[in-house]
Structure 1
C-alpha cells in the first residue's frame, strides 16, 4: 500500500483508487503521514446514505496517529456497482481479499450503522486481519419492530412511494422526540430528507439490496474476539442501547460506552464525547470510566439494560378504532400509546394482514400502523411514520411523558 501523504477535505471528492477483485470493483482512498507506513491502519466502513465526504472530520482527527483507509464495497457509498448476489458474509470476505491484495497489516475497522455488521463479520471471519474493532449503530436486526419497519420501507419503494419511504427512514435515523438533547438542527433534517427523496433509481436499488442483506442475515453465530469498542447513542431508537450492550456482552473482549444525548448518528452529533473513548481505544490505551458526555457501562450490567426506551401512556380517551384499507373497522381500547408504537385490545380477526392498517385515537389524525404481535385480544403496533403531519401530532401528545428510570451504570 502506498498512502497519499497530503490531506485536505476536498480530496474526499476526488475520484477514488480502484481495486478489482474478480468481478467486483472496490473503491478506496488511503492517507497517512508516511507514504510507506507499516502501522495498523484504520478502515472506515460507513452506513446508508454516507460517502467518503461524510468522514472529513474523522480523517482529520485520526491522521496524526494512524493511517486511514476509506473503503466502498460494491453497492456502498460512491461505488455504483450492484451486487444483489452478495451476502453480508461475502462482502466481509471482500474486505479480507482487499487486505490480502494490498498486503496490509492487521486493520482497525470502524463500522457505522450498516457498516457495523460488515466490520463485525470481517472481525469474526478473518481475525488475523483485524487488530481492533470499533462499532456504532449495531445493525444485527434481530428486533422484530426494526425488521418490520425495514420491510415496510422496502414495500413502499416497490410501490414507488419514495416520499413516504424517505419520511419513515428519516424518523428511524433521527429521533424527533430528542432533537433538543441531540442538537440536530431543522436545516440538517430537511437536507437529509431531501437527499433521500431525490435518490436515483440506481441508488434506491442499492438501498434495497443492502436492506435485503440485513433482513436475510441470520445473526451472529460467533462474535469478535479482538479488542472491541461499541458506542451506543443514548436516544438511538433504530439500533437501541440495549442491543449495543448485548452485542458487547457476547464478545470476548469488548467495552460499551453510552453516548449521552446521542442518537443513531451519535458519532456526528456528539463528536467529542465519542472521541474521548475511541482515541485511547485505537491507541491501545486504557479507557476512561466516564468522560464529559459519555459513560462506560459496567460489564455486569450489559445484559440488564432496560429495553423499553420510550414512555407509553394510556391516553385519557382510550376508545379508538382500527381500520383496514379493505374496509375493516374494529373498535379497540388503547392501552398504551407512545411515539414509536402502542398496544390496543379488541375483538380482532385471528389472521391480520401485514399492511394497510390505520389507527384512530382521540383527536389525532389517523395513524398508519403495522401489526407486530397479536396475542389473544391484545395487538402490539409499530408506527412507520410515513406521514409527517400525523407524526408531528403524535409527538406533540407524547413528548412530555417521561420514561422510567434506566440503570445504565
Structure 2
C-alpha cells in the first residue's frame, strides 16, 4: 500500500482509487504521514447515507497516530456498483480480499451503523486480518419492531411514497423526543430529510439491496475475538443501548460505552466524547471508567440494561379505534402508549394484515402503525411515523410537561 501524504478535508470529495477484485469494484482513499507507513491502518466503514465526507473530523484526528483508509464496497457511499447477489458475509469477505491484495497489516476497522455489521463480520470471519475493532450503531436487526419498520420503509419506496419513507426513516435515526439533549439542529434534520426524499432510482435500489441484506442476516453465530469497543448513544432508539451491550457481552474482549446525550448518530452529535475514546482504544490503553461525555459499562451491567427504551403509560382517555381500509374498524382500549409503540386491548382480529393500520385517538390525527404480535395481553404495535403532523401530536401527548422552575427548587 502506498498512502497519500497530502491529506486535506477537500480531498474526501475528490475522485477515489479503485481496486478491481474479479467482477467487483472497491473504491477507497488511503492517507498517512508517510507513503510506506507499516503501522496497522484504521479502516472507516460508514452507514447507509454516509460518504467519505462524513469522516472529515475523524480522518484529521486519527492521522496523527495511524494510517487511515476509507472504503466503499459495492452499493456503499460513492460506489455505484449494485451487488444484489452479495450478502453481508460476502461483503465482509471483500474487505479481507482488499487487505490481501494491497498487502495490508491487520486492520483496525471503525464501523458505523450499516458499516458496523460489515466490520464485525470481517473480524469474525478473518480474525488474522483484524487487530482491533470499534463499532457504533450495531445493526444486527434481531428486534422485531426494527425489522418491521425496515420492511415498511422498503414497501413505501416500492410504492413511490418517498415522503412517507423519508419521514419514518428520519424519526428512526434522530430521536425526536430527545432533540434538546442531542442538540440536533432543525437545519440538519431538514437537510437529512431532503436527502432521503430525493433519492434517485439508483440510490433507492442501493438502499433496497442494503436493507434486504440486513433483513436476510441470520445473526452472529460467532462474535469477534479481538479487542472490541462498542459505542452506544444513550437515546438511540434505532439500535438500542441494550443491543449494543448484549453484543459486547458476547465478544471475547469487549467494552461497551454509553455516549451521553446522543442517539444513533453519536459520532457526529458528540464528536469530542467519541473521539476521546478512539485514541486510547486504538493504542491498546485501558479505557477510563468515566470520561467526559460517556460512561463505560461494567461487565456485570452488559446483560442488565433495560430493554424498554421509553416509558409507556395509558392515556387519560383510553378509548380509541383501530381502523383498516379493507379489514374494518374495532373499538379498542389503549393499555400502553409511547411515542414509538404501544399495546391495545379489545376484540381484535386473530390475523391482522401487516400494513395499512391506523389508530384513532381522541383529539389526534390518525396514527399509522404496524402490528407486531397478538397475545392474551393484547396487540403490541410500533408506530411507523410516516406522517409528520401525527408524530408531532403524539410526541406532545406522551411527553410530560416540564415542571415550573419553582417546583424544582
Normalised by the shorter chain, which TM-score bucket? over 0.9
**Counterpart residue number, 1:206:** 206
**Counterpart residue number, 1:196:** 196
Unaligned runs of 5+ in 2: 403-409
How far apart are 1:129 and its partner, in Å? 0.4
Aligned counterparts, 1:154-303, within 5 A: 154-303=154-303
**Counterpart residue number, 1:65:** 65
Aligned counterparts, 1:128-139, within 5 A: 128-139=128-139
TM value normalised by structure 1: 0.97
**Counterpart residue number, 1:331:** 331
Provide Cα deviations, 1:290-328, integer angstroms capped at 9, x if missing partner: 111100001011001001111111100000000002150
Counterpart of 1:19 in 2: which secondary structure? Answer: strand
Matches of 1:173 and 1:356, distance apart in 2: 23
Distance 1:239 1:401, change over 3 A: farther
1:3 aligns with 2:10: no
How far apart are 1:377 and its partner, in Å? 6.0
The answer (yes or no) to whether the contact 2:58–2:275 under 8 Å persists in 1 is no
How far apart are 1:74 and its partner, in Å? 0.1
Aligned length: 402
Counterpart of 1:257 in 2: which secondary structure? Answer: strand
Counterpart of 1:76 in 2: which secondary structure? Answer: coil
Aligned-pair Cα RMSD in Å: 0.9
TM value normalised by structure 2: 0.97
Shifted more, 15-24 versus 390-399: the winner is: 390-399
Matches of 1:257 and 1:376, distance apart in 2: 37
Matches of 1:129 and 1:328, distance apart in 2: 56
Matches of 1:271 and 1:399, distance apart in 2: 28
The answer (yes or no) to whether the contact 2:89–2:118 under 8 Å persists in 1 is yes
**Counterpart residue number, 1:369:** 369
Matches of 1:400 and 1:40, distance apart in 2: 50
Matches of 2:126 and 2:400, distance apart in 1: 47
**Counterpart residue number, 1:110:** 110
Matches of 2:400 and 2:256, distance apart in 1: 29
Counterpart of 2:202 in 1: which secondary structure? Answer: helix
Distance 1:377 1:283, change over 3 A: closer
Matches of 2:327 and 2:375, distance apart in 1: 23
Matches of 1:226 and 1:376, distance apart in 2: 44
**Counterpart residue number, 1:405:** none
Matches of 2:134 and 2:223, distance apart in 1: 13
**Counterpart residue number, 1:379:** 379
Matches of 1:300 and 1:215, distance apart in 2: 30
Matches of 1:55 and 1:397, distance apart in 2: 37
Distance 1:394 1:269, change over 3 A: same
How far apart are 1:399 and its partner, in Å? 1.8
How far apart are 1:248 and its partner, in Å? 0.1
